[in-house]
Amino acid sequence: MSKLNARTIIALVAAGLFAVAAVTAGLVAFAVSKAPAHSPQLTAYANGTTITVDPFMYCTVRMQECQYGETAPLEVPAGAPVQLSLPAEVSESPWLIQLIYQRPSGEQLDRVLSFADYPDRARALTIESKPEPDLRLIGIEVQLPILARDVATGQESYIPHAAWSIVTPEPEPRES
C-alpha cells in the first residue's frame, strides 16, 4: 500500500470542500426559488419613530393576483414632517401620493403629489404635516396608477394597482 503524499491530501481536501460548497450553493438557490414573492415595502419616519409599510393593495398591472393588507399607523405631532423612503419598485415607476388633511371643523382636503414634482427617481420625500395653520395631515396613500377604460362609457381614468396607506393620528398627550 502506498503512502499519501501532501499534494494528494491537499487535492482531496480541496475536492471535498468544492463538493460541499457546490451542494450548499445548490440548496440555497433552490430555497430562494421556492421563497414566497415579497411585495415592496416603503418606510415612513416621524418624530423619532420609523415604520415599515406593507402594501394596502398590491395587484399586477392587469389587476390580477391582488393581495390586500392594512393601513399602517404612524403618530405625527402637528407640524412635524413625515419622511418617506420609497423602494425602487415605486421610485422607478410613475407614482402618486394622496395627502389627506383635515381642518378643525372636520372638513377634509386632499392634495396630490406625483413623481413629476420631484427629481428623477427620488427615493426619499418629506411631507409637511401642517402646511397651513388650520390644516393637519391625517393620512397618506402612495399609489402606482394605471390607465383604465370603462368598457360601457369608453371614459378613461387612472386607478391604482398598488397602494401603501398610512394614517397619521396626533400622539395622545402624556400625563405628567
For residue 73, give the C-alpha cell: 399607523
- Give domain status of residue 176, yes or no: no
- The predicted model scores a pTM of 0.75
Residue 172 domain-assigned (yes or no): no
In a domain? residue 174: no
**Do 62 and 147 fall within a single domain?**
yes
For residue range 55-69, list pLDDT tens digits in order: 999 999 889 999 999
The domain in which residue 20 lies consists of 1-35
Same domain, 28 and 112: no
d(CA 44, CA 47): 10
Whether 17 and 59 share a structural domain = no
Query: Do residues 101 and 145 share a domain?
Result: yes
In-domain check, residue 173: no
Residues 14 and 52 in one domain: no
Question: pLDDT of 2-44, one tens digit each?
Answer: 677 878 778 787 788 787 877 877 777 676 565 556 789 999 9
**Quick one: 59 and 114 in the same domain?**
yes
Residues 9 and 74 in one domain: no
Residues 20 and 71 in one domain: no
